[in-house]
Chains A and B, each alone.
Chain A
Amino acid sequence: MRARLLAMNAGDFEQQSVVGIPSTVSRQNPTPPSPPSPPPADVRPMLEFSQAAVRFGYRTVWSDVNVSVMPGEFVAILGPNGVGKSTLIKVALGLVPLSAGTATVLGAEPGQAGRDLGYLPQRRSFDQGLRVRGIDVVRLGADGDRWGTPLPFARRWSAQSRAQQERIDEVIEMVGAGQYAERPIGEVSGGEQQRLLIAQALVRRPKLLLLDEPLDSLDLPNQAAVAALISRISRDEGVAVAMVAHDVNPIMSYLDRVIYIGQGGAVSGTVEQVINSETLSRLYDTPIEVLRASDGRLVVVGDPEAPSHHSDRHSGRPLP
């Protein structure tokens, strides 16, 4: 962990975001969305949990969770392993029912949001032998849930099909995947797959993106580049992003807010408001110390379940 912290500083991120991702979006977009301003008080949240709880049998995953994500916000959902961060996303998708409280997604019940919701599940990667092009995977985000079978040459006579193709090309360009979108997705790298999947989630112009550990299983330069990409998309497309992460550091500079989950509830606020010794000690009811390295990185120490120890997920890989 120390090695990782020392290897990167805040300056690296800026550099990555410039070098790694060509920022061509604003040029292509005829009507660039206005930069996010603090939402007015009467704006309805994209995602809202109130007094929410999930129990599997006798086990309470979490309870008394009150969180909200406002339009255009980039919010990280943080917390130790096994605390139910992914469960929170699954509740929002309508895949896991709440046992108490209410959840509202885009003003509707979970599972009803449909086209306005983009989702990126936690995964390792596609099978290497999968002989399907990246662009086909992206296209599934546009029409994969429609019954029937794609007809050959539909683009020649269907304006709708042409418009869809244009949007697919646009999102592929947006995530910088033009070079490898025609290659079988099993053959491209993890970071490239992740970019294609972000493109897939974006095809339908969602208002809310739910990302489950999109930086997991990526190497550090890719983590930084994908984090910068997500932030840029959130800003340029005006999409609210709720992103589950186990390490706040790669995304810290982009975040509007963080939501920290514990068993007995959740706290949300800016990074400074939430990730400090006092707030986290209160949330987990155990002494926790948050250290700030000289370059601004945060290290959480104390609880054996705290995020600073989660880097063991990467122990299979040599540290840079």
Chain B
Amino acid sequence: MIAVVAATVREGLGWNLVDDMRQLFELHFMVNAFRAGTIVAVVAGAMGWFTVLRRQSFAGHALAVVSFPGAAGAVWLGASATAGTFVASVSAALVIALVPRSASGGGDGEDSAVIGTVQALALASGVLFVSLYGGFLNSLNGLLFGTFLGITDDQVTTLIIVGAAVLAVLAGIGRPLFFATIDADVAQASGVPVRMLSVVFLVLLGCAAAEVSQITGSLLVFALLVLPAASAQRLTSRPGSSFVLTIVLAVAITWVALAAAYFSVHPIGFFVTTIGLGVFVVVTVAQSAKVRIQRRGRSGFTSQGLAA
């Protein structure tokens, strides 16, 4: 960690905040990185909120891992890596959706076996595609652990189109999806197409995971998809507030991580993950402290009442 800080300072981060900001946005690739990062963070936050509530974090992780063979395979075949990630993640989402979810929902039982298998197969075929490609696949590290260098204007356009589509569909199904998540039996009895929503959600999750993997890399999508939502839901139990807070946290984490990665020589995936984890740990500790204080306050009140 000390080495990281030292490197950060060495790369020209000064105490002049305005100057630092100017430096940050001077280069086009960095502007593109912030554009892409912001889009990805908003999509990750919105989808992550439902993913955590539905206990499908494991599925989200698997779908992100699948984006790696998608990209590697596309490069091997001479196609666009971005297109490859989306095709692979959405196909994997459909495979996972074909397996009926257990009534209790969540990533347990048969579900997790299928998801784990998909994930292992994905990593294995990714390695195969890299090997088939033969030459030194320059971006292997970036595919797995994230990069913000060299995001093209075209890539930003793709991200914004897919992101907008995901958010539009999510806005359309938000309320019934929430119902089906909280209370599948009653939702189904009230005419909510629970099974169909679950498939649609997984496809959206595939798109979102593929988007996020462009920034954090396949293996670290979890950080942006799950940590902001998990933190926000601990902070408030009001659905609207925690949803907005999730997106705010995701965007903030991404911006800070991008800045940190720019001023250091270390990969962005590390910064996204550690900052996200930092937020989560602080929130969790604060939450349990609050509960303890409340409990103590309540018991104190009771004993006073008894004394009186």
Q: Do A147 and B240 contact each other (CB < 8 Å), given the known contacts A95-B189, A140-B183?
A: no
Is there an interface contact between B179 and A150, defined as CB atoms closer than 8 Å? no
Nearest chain A residue, comparing its CB with the CB of B174: A149
State A131–B242 Cα separation when bound (angstroms).
Answer: 10
Is there an interface contact between B237 and A144, defined as CB atoms closer than 8 Å? no
Size bin of chain A's contact surface: 20 to 34
State A132–B191 Cα separation when bound (angstroms).
Answer: 22
State A200–B186 Cα separation when bound (angstroms).
Answer: 10
Is there an interface contact between A95 and B182, defined as CB atoms closer than 8 Å? no
Residue from A144, A147, A152 with most neighbouring chain B CB atoms (10 Å):
A144
Is there an interface contact between A143 and B175, defined as CB atoms closer than 8 Å? yes
9 of the cross-chain contacts (CB-CB < 8 Å) are A95-B189, A114-B190, A123-B185, A140-B179, A140-B182, A141-B186, A143-B175, A144-B190, A145-B191
Nearest CB of chain A from residue B6's CB, rounded to whole Å: 40
Is there an interface contact between A114 and B191, defined as CB atoms closer than 8 Å? yes
Is there an interface contact between B173 and A121, defined as CB atoms closer than 8 Å? no
State A179–B34 Cα separation when bound (angstroms).
Answer: 46
Nearest CB of chain B from residue A207's CB, rounded to whole Å: 15
Q: Report which of A111, A145, A184 forms a contact with B192, defined as CB distance below 8 A.
A: A145
Complex interface: chain B residues within 8 A of A123 (CB): 185
Complex interface: chain B residues within 8 A of A132 (CB): 53, 182, 237, 239
Is there an interface contact between A144 and B176, defined as CB atoms closer than 8 Å? yes
B160-197, CB < 8 A from A: 170-176, 178-179, 182-183, 185-192
Residue from A114, A123, A149, A183 with most neighbouring chain B CB atoms (10 Å):
A149
State A136–B187 Cα separation when bound (angstroms).
Answer: 14
Which B residues lie at the A interface, using CB under 8 A? Answer: 53, 170-176, 178-179, 182-183, 185-192, 233-234, 236-240, 242
Nearest chain B residue, comparing its CB with the CB of A137: B182
How many A-B residue contacts, CB cutoff 8 Å? 83
Q: Report which of B171, B178, B183, B188 forms a contact with A95, defined as CB distance below 8 A.
A: B188
- SS of B interface (majority): helix
Q: Report which of B175, B182, B186 forms a contact with A150, defined as CB distance below 8 A.
A: B175
Is there an interface contact between B237 and A148, defined as CB atoms closer than 8 Å? no
Is there an interface contact between A184 and B237, defined as CB atoms closer than 8 Å? yes
* 8 closest Cβ pairs, A-B complex: A144-B179, A149-B174, A121-B185, A184-B237, A119-B189, A131-B233, A145-B190, A131-B237
Complex interface: chain B residues within 8 A of A133 (CB): 237-239
Nearest CB of chain A from residue B58's CB, rounded to whole Å: 16
Complex interface: chain A residues within 8 A of B239 (CB): 132-133, 136, 150
Is there an interface contact between A121 and B237, defined as CB atoms closer than 8 Å? no
Is there an interface contact between A145 and B171, defined as CB atoms closer than 8 Å? no
Complex interface: chain B residues within 8 A of A143 (CB): 175
Please tell me if A130 contacts chain B, counting CB pairs below 8 Å.
Answer: yes
- Chain A positions 92 through 103: 1 when the CB is less than 8 Å from some CB of chain B, otherwise 0: 010100000000
State A144–B180 Cα separation when bound (angstroms).
Answer: 9
Complex interface: chain B residues within 8 A of A183 (CB): 237
Nearest CB of chain B from residue A139's CB, rounded to whole Å: 9
Complex interface: chain B residues within 8 A of A114 (CB): 190-191
State A93–B194 Cα separation when bound (angstroms).
Answer: 15
Complex interface: chain A residues within 8 A of B176 (CB): 144-147
Is there an interface contact between B174 and A130, defined as CB atoms closer than 8 Å? no
Complex interface: chain A residues within 8 A of B188 (CB): 95
- Chain A positions 109 through 130: 1 when the CB is less than 8 Å from some CB of chain B, otherwise 0: 0010010010111010000001
Is there an interface contact between B185 and A145, defined as CB atoms closer than 8 Å? no
Complex interface: chain A residues within 8 A of B192 (CB): 144-145
Is there an interface contact between B174 and A148, defined as CB atoms closer than 8 Å? yes
State A194–B238 Cα separation when bound (angstroms).
Answer: 20
Complex interface: chain A residues within 8 A of B178 (CB): 140, 144
Nearest chain A residue, comparing its CB with the CB of B181: A132
Complex interface: chain B residues within 8 A of A95 (CB): 188-189
Q: Report which of A119, A120, A149 forms a contact with B171, defined as CB distance below 8 A.
A: A149
State A180–B176 Cα separation when bound (angstroms).
Answer: 24
Complex interface: chain B residues within 8 A of A141 (CB): 186, 190
Complex interface: chain B residues within 8 A of A184 (CB): 237
- Chain A positions 171 through 200: 1 when the CB is less than 8 Å from some CB of chain B, otherwise 0: 000000000000110000000000001001
Is there an interface contact between A147 and B173, defined as CB atoms closer than 8 Å? yes
Complex interface: chain A residues within 8 A of B237 (CB): 131-133, 183-184
Q: Do A146 and B183 contact each other (CB < 8 Å), given the known contacts A95-B189, A121-B189, A132-B237?
A: no
Nearest CB of chain B from residue A79's CB, rounded to whole Å: 21
Is there an interface contact between B175 and A146, defined as CB atoms closer than 8 Å? yes
Nearest chain A residue, comparing its CB with the CB of B170: A149
State A137–B174 Cα separation when bound (angstroms).
Answer: 14
Is there an interface contact between B175 and A152, defined as CB atoms closer than 8 Å? no
Complex interface: chain B residues within 8 A of A200 (CB): 186
State A111–B188 Cα separation when bound (angstroms).
Answer: 10
Complex interface: chain B residues within 8 A of A111 (CB): 191
State A120–B189 Cα separation when bound (angstroms).
Answer: 9
Is there an interface contact between A144 and B174, defined as CB atoms closer than 8 Å? no
Is there an interface contact between A130 and B182, defined as CB atoms closer than 8 Å? yes
